Amino acid sequence: MTVKFKAVVIDNQNEKFTRDIKEIDSSHLKDGNVLIKIDYSSLNYKDALILKDGGKIVRKFPFVPGIDFSGKVVESGDDKFKKDENIICTGFRVGEMYYGGFSQYAKVDSNFLIKNPKDIDAEKSMMLGTAGFTALQCSFAIKAREELLLGEKVNDVLVTGATGGVGSIAVMILSKMGYNVHAVTGKKR
C-alpha cells in the first residue's frame, strides 16, 4: 500500500540548508518493518539543533527529523504489533539516522516500539516526550540509590537545570514521589 502524506523535510543541496513541509509517499520510508500513522511528536533540544541546520547530527539528506512520536500501527511485519494498536517510539536514533516523527507517517523497526501503557494516551505520552522519559529514569535512579545503595530514606533532592525540559519534569515527578525538591536555576526570574 502506498500512502501520500506530509512531512517536515530538511535538505542540504549544494551546502544550502532548507526546511519545508513537503508531500512525500511511503516509498520514501525505506527502513523498518512497522508502518505507523503518527498522532503526536514532541520538540526536543536535539530536534531544535537538527531543524536549525542539521546540527552535525543528521548526516544524510533529504531527511525527516523528529526524535519521538506516538501513533497507530497501519501495517506490521512483526506479530507483536497489530493493526490499529497504539505505540510510542523514542530513541534508537530515530530522527537522527532514521526518518522521524515530524511527519504524518513513519516506518521503523518493531524493536524501537513500545505499546502505550493504558493510562497514557498518544497525546500525554508526547507531552512528556523524550525529556519526560529521561526525567523519569533519573527519578527512578534516585529511588534505586535510596533503596539499594544507601539503605536509608533520602529526604532532599537537588535538581539542577530545573527550568529545562528534563529538569522541570524531574521536579514534578520527584515531588510526587514525596521528596523535598530543591530546584536550581541560573535565571533571574
Ligand X SMILES: NC(=O)c1ccc[n+]([C@@H]2O[C@H](COP(=O)([O-])OP(=O)(O)OC[C@H]3O[C@@H](n4cnc5c(N)ncnc54)[C@H](OP(=O)(O)O)[C@@H]3O)[C@@H](O)[C@H]2O)c1
Q: Are 8 and 66 in contact (CB under 8 A)?
A: yes
By CB under 6 A, residue 48 contacts ligand X = no
- Write a three-state SS string for 99-166: CCCCECEEEECHHHEEECCCCCCHHHHHHHHHHHHHHHHHHHHHHHHHHHHHCCCCCEEEECCCCCHH
Q: Binding ligand X by CB under 6 A: which of 1, 27, 118, 186?
A: 186
Residue 128: CB minimum distance to ligand X, A: 10
Asked if 188 interacts with ligand X (CB under 6 A), we say no
Smallest distance, Å, CB 163 to ligand X?
3
> d(Cα 124, Cα 126) in Å, to the nearest integer?
5
Q: Are the C-beta atoms of 67 and 75 separated by less than 8 Å?
A: no
* Cell numbers for 138: 533519573
58, 167, 173, 181: which one binds ligand X (CB under 6 A): 167
The letter for the amino acid at 71 is G
Q: How far apart are CA 24 and CA 3, in angstroms?
A: 9
Q: Name the residue nearer to ligand X (CB basis): 81 or 133.
A: 133
Is position 55 an interface residue for ligand X (rule: CB under 6 A)? no
Applying CB under 6 A, which of residues 3, 28, 43, 45 lies at the interface with ligand X?
A: 45
CA distance 130 to 42: 8
Cell of 124: 500525554
Binding mask 25-44 vs ligand X (x if CB under 6 A, - otherwise)? -------------------x
How many residues make contact with ligand X (CB under 6 A)?
A: 16
| 87-146 positions binding ligand X, by CB under 6 A | 130-131, 134
Q: How far is the CB of 57 from ligand X (least distance, A)?
A: 12
Q: Does 180 bind ligand X (CB under 6 A)?
A: no
Tell me the H-state helices in 6-98: 45-53
Among 165, 173, 179, 181, binds ligand X (CB under 6 A): 165
Catalog residues that contact ligand X under the rule CB under 6 A.
44-45, 130-131, 134, 160-167, 185-187
